[in-house]
Amino acid sequence: MSISPKDVLNKNKNLNKRIDVEKISLENVTIDDLIFNGKNYEEYINLQSLLENVSACQVSDAYNAISRRSGNIQSIKPINNQKVWGRIFTAETDCDDWGTSALAIDAAEDGDILFFKVNGEDKAIWGELASTCARDNGIKATVIYGSARDLDALLYMDYPMFASNFCPNAGSALGLGTLNEPIDVEGTIINPGDFFLGDESGIVIIPQELFSQVMVQSLAVKIKESCIIRDIASGKTLAEVAGLK
């Protein structure tokens, strides 16, 4: 594979650079730009600048404007109120099988977000040890439609966690589940590679084929809300801004 002068320059680029919201450009940005590949510096920086500034609420509003869907699964809540985004690696298993969690940690790629559909909630398939291993393997977060445990540790770990329930007991290391196949969670079809964003308000899942559209709309929502906040700071009431007076 040939290396161009631009590739060499990009290796020295500051990946922590951020752009003001009003100056963000999403031209040519795709879901692949969530990861810096050595050639997509501008796209990566603009996308990161956006995602650091938008909330799950704003992304949900943007997705709803495009698809008339919220992207939210309301039963899944944040455990430790940390914001995270990335592409989804799916897994499905029964609640007595935490072994599938261990297999998913090994199979997922750096930067992935593990999303488990668990059949049953009376046993936990995830806890402190799994979070520690996943974090050390470069996985960004775990989302469980089912139960987690060890909240005494998870609440304070630097590893984002989302789940629909929690309990103290676990099953066994069976490893009988499926990995990286489409899953159906409360009527929402989640495919491997779909986009996930979660924060204190909850989670939003965006089909990968709509990612670029939703990001453009999310930027528009963010800018509009920023203008509304400025109007309120200048003395207008929310009713006035909304055109109710």
Q: Tens of pLDDT along the chain (245 residues)? A: 344 555 555 556 899 999 999 999 999 999 999 999 999 999 999 999 999 999 999 999 999 999 999 999 999 999 999 999 999 999 999 999 999 999 999 999 999 999 999 999 999 999 999 999 999 999 999 999 999 999 999 999 999 999 999 999 999 999 999 999 999 999 999 999 999 999 999 999 999 999 999 999 999 999 998 888 888 898 888 888 888 88
CA distances from 233 to 57, 223, 239, 241 (A): 21, 15, 14, 11
Burial (CB < 10 A; 0-12, 13-18, 19+), residue 160, is buried
Tell me phi and psi for residue 187, to 5 degrees.
Answer: 85, -5
pLDDT at 228 (0 to 100): 86
Architecture of domain 57-245: 3-Layer(bba) Sandwich (3.50)
- Angstrom distance (rounded) from CA 27 to CA 30: 9
Burial (CB < 10 A; 0-12, 13-18, 19+), residue 206, is buried
- Angstrom distance (rounded) from CA 117 to CA 186: 10
* Residue extents of the structural domains in the chain: 1-53, 57-245
